[in-house]
Amino acid sequence: MDRNEIEQVVKEVRAGDIDQFGIIIDAMQRQLFVYCYHMLGHRQEAEDAVQEVFLKAYEQLDSYRQTVSFSAWLYKIAYHHCVNVLNRAKRGRILTLLRAGMQTFSKHEGEKKVEDTEYVSTPLHMAVSKLSASERNLLILRVVEEYSYDELAALFDTKPATLRKQYERIVKKCKSYMLVSEGGDSHDTISATR
C-alpha cells in the first residue's frame, strides 16, 4: 500500500469509517512488529507493543499531520512506546537489536518473512546492545527498515546530512565495540557505506 492510499484511508477513518483502520493495521502490522521486535528483543513484548501502538495511533489520529508519512508518524509512536516499555522494566540498557540464534526477519519480494537462521555474529550482537535507544532507533530504521536519509530527516525533524553523520558515528562505534568484543571482524554485517 503506497503513501497516497494510506493517506486516503486515514481520511476515511477521520471521517468516521473506523472499520477502515483495519486496512492500515493489515498494511503496517508486519513491519511494525519487526521494528518493535528489534527494539525490545522479545517476541511477546513486540506483539503487545504493536497492539498498543495501533491503539495509540487510532486515539491520536487527529494529531497526525501529513508533513511526514503516516508510517513515519507510526514509527515515532512505536519508538516512544518501546522506550517506555524498556524504562518501565527498569532495564539499565536497551535490549539487543538482534539476538544471535533467534528468529530473524528479512525482506522477501516486498514482504517481511520470518527465517530460522543466525542473523548476526556475537560481536555485533554485543556491540548493538551497547547503543542508546536513539542510536538503536536510527540504526533499525536505516538498516532494517531501509529508510532513506530524507525520510529519516522528515521523521526526526532534522537535516539528512546530520543523520548521515550520526549514522556514520553509530557504525564506527559498533565497529569499535566489535573489535574489542571477542576479537570479532568489524566488517561482518554493518557497513558505513549504507
Beta-carbon neighbour count of residue 178 at 10 Å? 25
Cα 128-130-132 angle, rounded to 5 deg:
95
Which pLDDT score, from 0 to 100, does residue 89 have?
65
Tell me: pLDDT of 120 over 50: no
Residue 125 pLDDT level (bands cut at 50, 70, 90): low
Cα 1-104-88 angle, rounded to 5 deg:
90
Which pLDDT score, from 0 to 100, does residue 46 have?
93
b vs e for 15-24, b when ≥16 Cβ sit within 10 Å of the residue's Cβ?
A: eeeeebbebb
Domain locations in the chain?
1-95, 121-194
On the CB side of 104, CA atoms within 13 Å amount to 16
Which pLDDT score, from 0 to 100, does residue 100 have?
35
Which residue carries 508533513 as its cell?
A: 67
Q: Which CATH number is associated with domain 121-194?
A: 1.10.10.10
Tell me: pLDDT of 157 over 50: yes
Q: Which CATH number is associated with domain 1-95?
A: 1.10.1740.10
54: left (phi over 0), alpha (psi -120 to 50) or beta: alpha
Residue 183 pLDDT level (bands cut at 50, 70, 90): low
Least reliable range by pLDDT among 60-64, 108-112, 189-193: 108-112
Which pLDDT score, from 0 to 100, does residue 64 have?
92
